[in-house]
Amino acid sequence: MAHYVVSDIHGEDDRFHAMLQTINFSDEDTLYILGDVIDRGPHGVELLREIMATPNMKMLLGNHEFMCLRYFAPDAPEKHIRHWNRNGNAPTLEGFSKLTEAQKQEVLDFLRTLPTHFTLRVNGQNFYLVHGLPADTVYDEVWFRPYKEPVREIPNCQIIIGHSPVSCFVHTQTEAYGRTDEEERAYIQEMCDRGELLSIFHHPQYIDIDCCCGYDFPNRRLACLRLEDLQEFYV
């Protein structure tokens, strides 16, 4: 029985299912998904329904699911509608359009139940799993990024995050700061020129597993971490 963590699948069901094969995922294992299953890629809604039907897949709320819920809220303000429209929601809306109204409401009801973090203990190690960063509110836990907000330390606990693509900010052992869009594109091009792929980053305060699945970067990957030994898997 193993515990695995993935994040930011963004509708790329082919990579997701390839990952399940890579890790030989079984009914005895548990997969923790740190949010952002939907948007950008084509099959986010289908993946949500698969997760809903799989008891040993546990999902957190991500900022894209957060935007989705605000969009479908009664009397949603125009700014919430525009916000999600700017963030890759077209494939998700198309996915919802293929469902009956009852099926769509089942998915939205599922999203409303999602927590914003998991705490667990594996092989004597405490873990705090969160989409953004540890914080006091739903909004902050799904939106905070380590290059914009201080990372709250949790004593004797390993923090694992998604949400912040490893390409979009500079990690060092002592700090993190954001790249501009132009700097990020240049960084990706330099990596591709060297034949390098995006990888999980281990910072003293957290582990970032968002390797840009759902983006158009040629060196993007879906990353997975096994909590028993922190072994990394990629597709």
Identify the CATH number of the domain defined by range 3-234: 3.60.21.10
pLDDT of residue 228: 98
CA distance 40 to 211: 14
CB of 162 closer than 8 Å to CB of 175: no
SS (H, E, C) 61-88: CCHHHHHHHHHCCCCCCHHHHHHHHCCC
Query: How far is the CA of 199 from the CAs of 14, 31, 53, 225, 235, in angstroms?
Result: 19, 19, 30, 11, 11
Find the farthest-apart pair of alpha carbons in the chain and give their distance in angstroms, rounded: 50
Where are the domains positioned within the chain? 3-234
Q: Is the pTM of this model over 0.85?
A: yes
CA distance 171 to 190: 17
Q: What is the mean pLDDT of each run of 10 residues along the chain (235 residues)?
A: 98 98 98 98 98 98 98 96 97 98 98 98 98 97 91 94 89 74 87 92 93 92 98 98
Share of the chain above pLDDT 70, in %: 98
pLDDT of residue 171: 66
